Amino acid sequence: MVRIRIRAAWQATLVPLMLVLGSCSDGQAGSARNDSALPLAPATSAGVDQPGRPTDGLRGADRAEPSPGSASGTLEIREDPCQSRERGIVGRIEYPMQKATDNLMSSPTGTSLAAARQISFRADQARKQILERCERPSPLMRQYLQVVRLRTSDALSYRDLSAVMDAYTRWAGAVGERRKALALRRTQEGCRALKRQVEANYRVWWAWTETGRTWWIELTYRSRLTRSLTATLSGRVHATGLVGRDRIWNWNGGRRSSGVLRWGGSSFDYGQIRPGESGQLVIHVNDPYVSTAANGTFKVEEVEVSTDIPGARRWWCSLPVREES
């Protein structure tokens, strides 16, 4: 009888203790029954709630598993190689597009066959480059190529350039180069705005001399801006009957009396476009005056005046230069 009473007393003490332990291991209400089949994660400082310290609140089964080959456990996303290749092509088109813009902006007629050929050539190169590695261009690249084909069949106009730039901007945005396309577009718009404020013209002068005639070119600027602009000059003239030191050097060291005279790229080939009307002489090899025989000729083939665009640091703006009578 004594032994039976002792066991009963022990059982009576054990049952409440088990109930207390069961309620403590319950965690949150109603979770003990659901989690009883899951293995418990080892208790760590990152997974156990401690007063005053952050906790992730995740069990081991809820934590993301590291991807194969990744020591850090971060998911590696590989870029489509064709998209990456198209992004590089978009970047390489940017400068030729500015050159084509330059030819159009400097054209006195408002159209340029040279600009159309430049854009068409670069589009054809882009198509070949993408087909070297990829089965076909992306849909937006195909749209760009189609617009270029339609818009460059003749001399490029401002409307043609706008259509090409629309397609170029959409394509550039799809491959992560939208900012580059928008910057180029702002440059084009800035150049068109500048052309409405600044005019450049040239006039050819000549005078009789003891040995024949002397020729020179005068540039005239008319600006409605309130500040000065720095002008970069270049161009060429075909002359005949050249005499004295104005004769052109041959590759073999001799001199000839006819040929093309060029300027541009030296410290003499800069000028200032000031508010109002201003001007300067074009300098050929340190001297603005060119001497020819009495029957010599002096035919201007090209005169270029380029300047920076206010608010745009990267590209430039070429102004149309018309001949004044």
> HSE of 88 in the Cβ direction (CA atoms, 13 Å)?
10
pTM for this predicted structure: 0.70
Burial classification of residue 278, based on how many CB atoms lie within 10 Å of its CB (0-12 exposed, 13-18 middle, 19 or more buried): middle
Both tokens assigned to 241: 């009957």
pLDDT, one tens digit per residue, over 122-175 is: 999 999 999 999 999 999 999 999 999 999 999 999 999 999 999 999 999 999
Instruction: Give the integer Cα–Cα distance in Å for 147 and 87.
Output: 19
* Alpha helices for the chain (secondary structure H): 2-24, 32-35, 81-105, 113-131, 139-151, 158-174, 178-195
| Rg value, the chain, Cα | 39
At residue 273, does pLDDT exceed 60? Answer: yes
pLDDT digits (tens, 9 = 90+) for 213-231: 999 999 999 999 999 999 9
